[in-house]
Amino acid sequence: MKTNILPSDKSVALLLDPDKAKGKVLDRMIETAVSAGADYILTGGSLTFCDIAPLINHVRNKCSIPVILLPGNLLQLNTSVDGIYFISLISGRNPELLIGNHVVAAPHLKNIRDRVIPVGYILVNCGSKTSVEYLSQTEAIPSDKPDIIIATALAGEMLGMKMIYLEGGSGAKNPVPPEVIKAVKENITLPLVTGGGLKTAEQVKDAFDAGADLVILGNGCEKRPSLLKEACMVRDSFRKKK
């Protein structure tokens, strides 16, 4: 089951919401991910009303794309995935999301520790208050404060994170600004992820141009499934340049 769950090249991931990705809709999204050549399928959310296990099992039965858990809370823990992004909300000051929940989760995950990737998760205000902010009881860092975002990312790297995730939040009005992505990438040595608010291929290109290693698409693909194919085409154009 072990696979490369740290992006080593420009990569695209589809994020599936357990409450929305069901039945024929889910199968169509998986088919699109396979045909587009998505690198990863992520699952998880800030708030879920159903067990996440059936979704994980269904995806694994339908395709061979690595499945990575992006747990929004302890109820979403599952060890049957290819990897887990062990998120620490380093932009906030909620102790439960910095270390508290991790202490509870660690014994459950100790036998798959080689599949657990510590991720420094930074919420960036992209024009609207998101579900993540409300449920985490934290404030996003304003996008016009790049110095704070850079310092937070650097702290995450120095604390031992293996990846930095700049997140606009589910349903964000806009994506993380390219200038913010670029500023962070120039100051860290870790893989850089961004997601939230990405609605067009041009925005995906801007994120990759700015230095993002992995782009995560969620709501944008639910509203316009062709976005995933377009994003993978943009990714391929970057890979050909190497």
pLDDT score for 70: 95
Which of 127, 179, 174, 130 is closest to 150 using CA atoms? 179
Q: How far apart are CA 84 and CA 65, in angstroms?
A: 14
Q: How far apart are CA 226 and CA 200, in angstroms?
A: 10
pLDDT score for 114: 95
Question: What are 198-210's pLDDT values in tens digits?
Answer: 999 999 999 999 9
Architecture in CATH of 11-237:
Alpha-Beta Barrel (3.20)
pTM of the model as a whole: 0.95
Q: How far apart are CA 202 and CA 197, in angstroms?
A: 12
Q: Are the beta carbons of 94 and 132 closer than 8 angstroms?
A: no
Residue ranges with strand state E in the chain: 11-16, 40-43, 67-69, 83-89, 116-125, 141-142, 163-167, 192-195, 214-217
Residues making up the chain, counted from first to last: 242
pLDDT score for 1: 43
Question: What are 2-58's pLDDT values in tens digits?
Answer: 568 899 899 999 999 888 888 998 999 999 999 999 999 999 987 777 889 999 999
pLDDT lower than 70: segments of the chain: 1-3, 171
pLDDT score for 131: 84
Domain boundaries, given as residue ranges, for the chain: 11-237
